[in-house]
Amino acid sequence: MTPLAVVVATLARADVPCALIGASALSAHAVARSTLDIDLMACDPKVLDPALWVHVGSGCAVDVRRGDLQDPLAGVVRVTGPGRPVDVVVFGPLGWQAAVLARAVPVAWAGLDLRVVTPEDLVLLKLYAGGPADLWDVLALLDAVPDRAALVARVEASLSTLPAVMRRRWAKATAP
């Protein structure tokens, strides 16, 4: 099994919702960007319990990394094996990211039934990450959607309740 199939099956058995984020989510929303891995998000801390991953076959390796006090993430689980590696980015269960996960929509991707974050939520996650490639991704997504004005309005409606740094990044990314 590919790392993605292993992760999806493991999380489904544990009843842990997940969704595509990152470049894979961009491709699901018609923005092509090359990446070496597949990123999923989850908000359940049990994803970081090594016991969850003990039944992963010998064809895959699992590396569980917990965030520290300075890290905005609860942690990341990397699953490698034949095929593209998968990173499960784990946010806390009570943050705004849990609402992002709840709004994710079904998509058939890589032969699996998954969920993908909405375009506006992908923009919010990219603003949260805040790197130069993330801001490029925001602009590429704005250019790819059929109704840019509607996406901008939905993002701006959400930003008022989120960290100020995200609003500053949005202003920088969308400045003329």
* Chosen domain end from 98, 117, 136: 117
Range of the domain at 162: 118-176
Encoded tokens for 71: 């890290």
pTM for this model (two decimals): 0.94
Of 87, 117, 147, which marks where a domain is finished? Answer: 117
Query: Which three-class secondary structure string do you get for the chain?
Result: CCHHHHHHHHHHHCCCCCEEEHHHHHHHCCCCCCCCCEEEEECCHHHHCHHHHCCCCCCCEEEEEECCCCCCCCEEEEEECCCCCEEEEECCCCCHHHHHHHHCEEEEECCEEEEECCHHHHHHHHHHHCCHHHHHHHHHHHHHCCCHHHHHHHHHHHHCCCCHHHHHHHHHHHCC
Tokens of 129: 């990450």
Of 117, 133, 155, the position where a domain reaches its end is: 117
107 and 46 belong to one structural domain = yes
Residues 127 and 167 both lie in one domain: yes
Give me the number of domains the chain comprises.
Answer: 2
Distance, CA of 152 to CA of 3 (rounded, Å): 35
The CATH code of the domain that includes 93 is 3.30.460
Query: Does residue 87 share a domain with residue 13?
Result: yes
First to last CA, the chain: 46
The verdict on 89 and 4 lying in the same domain is yes
Shared domain for 12 and 88, answered yes or no, is yes
Average pLDDT, the chain: 94
Residues 97 and 134 in one domain: no
Tell whether 66 and 130 lie within a shared domain. Answer: no
The distance between the two most distant Cα atoms of the chain, rounded to a whole number of Å, is 52
Together in a domain, 13 and 93: yes
51 and 108 both lie in a single domain: yes
The pLDDT profile of the chain, 176 residues, written as one tens digit per residue, is: 899 999 999 999 999 999 999 999 999 998 988 889 999 999 999 999 999 999 887 789 999 999 988 888 999 999 999 999 999 999 988 889 999 999 999 999 889 999 999 999 999 999 999 999 999 999 999 999 999 999 999 999 999 999 999 999 999 988 88
Q: Are residues 81 and 106 located together in one domain of the fold? A: yes
